[in-house]
Chain A
Amino acid sequence: MFKKFSQWLDSLEDKNEGVENLPSEERRRFLKMGLTITGVFAGGTLLSLVSKVDDVFGSIGGYSERYPYKPHYAMVLRVDRCIDCERCMEACRRTNHVPEYGWRTKILERHIPLGEGEWYREFMPILCNHCNNPPCVRACPTQATYKDSRTGIVRMDYRKCIGCKTCMVACPYDMRYFNEEKRAVDKCDFCWESRLSKGKKLTACAEACPAGVRIFGDLSDPESEVFQMVHSETRVVWVLRPETGARPNVFYTKG
């Protein structure tokens, strides 16, 4: 009886499973590869390695059925290549008519400590994580923000927004702002309205990036670069603030 109940609970979770539990078996496999588990990797929690991917997205064999969306849009950010030229931010602003006072994507400058008084610089692009379990969507009283059932993009239906700003508070990533002209909360939609829905393949920011930081694509397509990076045997991939259980589709990696 409890098993049924537990299955039912699982079935409510049609999306990713948690990133927080790394089973001991995987842990051992991981260690065998000569890598250590630090728990925290440059501010995020360690996530990837192929074994981990099983854990996150369902078994490798069954991933295409298990990916909830088709295409399942995702972005991988190669943070160590970012040079903060901010062409992505400019392109985003132009393409999506983002007003002066707002932003949909941004670059953070981090000084990561190396020891006494020493640090190195890293630029970290941030944008909507298009979470599989989006806290903003859960909180919105009128479904003005919703998870597009086809693409997994977290989108806005501007006319339904009552401006309660709960989604802004609920977002762990500060990805939402109130757009006065639209009288609604606005956010990154992976350029769905401005580009993808018109047949373009890349977001404006990914296209504008001269340093190859923003890799955009379909995570449900094994041929895609995002798939291969996220499922790579050796690459370390992580997400931001995994403890919130939001299960982002924006991944971070180096190299």
Chain B
Amino acid sequence: MKRYFIFLLAVFLGCLLIHPPTWSQDEEDYPQEPIIFTKPVKAVIFDHKVHVEDNGLSCDSCHDDPFEMEAGSTQEKPDFNMKALYDGQYCGACHDGDTAFASNTQCARCHIGVLGMKRILGIKEEVHH
């Protein structure tokens, strides 16, 4: 029985070596490009790198609640606005002044605006004469 167990463990570890566990697969799979919300207002930046790598947040602190793993899905929700954030929903779950800077401060840190969005998307501003 004990031998069996060791064998199974060896197989399991072997599997692990060949197939890394799903959580570490996810870790590498998070979107590298920042996600930009454009509704209701242009434009808010969310960068996985900052949250996952620099601040060590795990996927399940956000997925699938409050955010689905689908860019653009959250901004379709009618209550995705500042009031919800102030009430501790969405980004406000952490951006409450405890876990991370509060949602009613440093507006221009999340809000990169139309100018920031154009810069990230590489849209050339037209210069008129």
Direct contact of A and B (CB under 8 A): yes
Contacts of A80 in B (CB 8 A): 107-108
Kindly state whether residue A245 has any CB partner on chain B within 8 Å: no
Q: Are A85 and B108 in contact (CB under 8 A)?
A: no
Asked if A85 and B109 sit within 8 Å, CB to CB, the answer is: no
Q: Is A118 part of the binding interface, using a Cβ–Cβ cutoff of 8 Å? A: no
Determine, out of B7-15, B18-26, B55-63, B111-119, the stretch whose residues face the partner at the interface. Answer: B111-119
Choose, from A38-46, A120-128, A135-143, A186-194, the stretch at the interface: A120-128
Counting CB contacts under 8 A, is A2 at the interface?
no
Asked if A223 lies at the interface with its beta carbon under 8 angstroms from chain B, I say no
User: Least Cβ distance of A100 to chain B in Å?
Assistant: 7
Q: Chain B contacts of A211 at CB under 8 A?
A: 107
Residues of chain A lying within 8 A (CB to CB) of residue B114 = 84-86, 107
Contacting residues of chain A (13-61) with chain B, CB-CB under 8 angstroms: none
Distance of A123 Cα from B108 Cα, bound (Å): 7
Q: For chain A residues 57-87, which have a beta carbon within 8 Å of chain B?
A: 80-87
The answer to whether A121 touches B108 (Cβ under 8 A) is yes
Proximity bits, B94-120, A CB within 8 Å = 1, else 0 = 000000000000111101111110000
Residues of B within 8 A of A86 (CB): 42, 113-114
Say yes or no: B129 contacts A101, CB within 8 Å: yes
Query: Does residue A109 face the partner (Cβ distance < 8 Å to B)?
Result: yes
Interface check A242, CB cutoff 8 A: no
Q: How far is the CA of A210 from the CA of B41 in the complex (A)?
A: 9
CA distance A211 to B42 in the complex (A): 12
Contact assessment for B113 and A123 in the assembled complex, using a CB-CB cutoff below 8 Å? yes
Partner of A107, one of B43, B106, B113: B113
| Residue in A83, A87, A102, A120 whose beta carbon sits within 8 Å of that of B111 in the complex | A83
In the complex, the answer to whether B106 meets A120 with C-beta atoms within 8 Å is yes
Give the number of chain B interface residues (Cβ < 8 Å): 16
Contacts of A122 in B (CB 8 A): 108
Assuming the contacts A84-B115, A85-B113, A109-B113, asked whether A120 and B108 have C-beta atoms less than 8 A apart, the reply is yes
- Cross-chain contact B113 with A84 (CB below 8 angstroms): yes
A83 shortest CB reach to chain B, Å: 4
Q: Taking the complex as formed, is B124 at the interface, i.e. its CB lies under 8 A from any CB of chain A?
A: no
Nearest B-chain residue to A111, judged by Cβ: B108
Given A87-B41, A100-B128, A210-B41, A82:B107 Cβ within 8 A: yes
Closest partner residue, chain A, to B40 (CB atom): A210
Cβ-neighbour of A101 out of B40, B106, B128 (below 8 A): B128
- Asked whether, in the complex, the Cβ of B108 is within 8 Å of the Cβ of A82, the reply is yes
**Given A82-B107, A120-B106, A109-B116 contact (CB < 8 Å):** yes
Distance between Cα atoms of A85 and B112 in the complex (Å) = 9
Q: Which residues of B contact A101 (CB under 8 A)?
A: 128-129
How many whole Å from A201's CB to the nearest CB in chain B? 24
Closest B residue to A83 by beta carbon equals B111
Residues of A within 8 A of B129 (CB): 101
The 9 A-B pairs with the shortest beta carbon distances in the complex, nearest first, are A84-B113, A83-B111, A101-B128, A85-B41, A121-B108, A86-B114, A109-B115, A83-B107, A85-B42
Instruction: Return 24 A-B CB contacts under 8 Å, by A number.
Output: A82-B107, A83-B41, A83-B107, A83-B111, A83-B113, A84-B112, A84-B114, A84-B115, A85-B41, A86-B114, A100-B128, A102-B128, A107-B114, A107-B115, A109-B113, A109-B116, A121-B108, A121-B109, A121-B112, A121-B116, A123-B111, A123-B113, A210-B41, A211-B107
Binding site for A on B (CB under 8 A): 40-43, 106-109, 111-116, 128-129
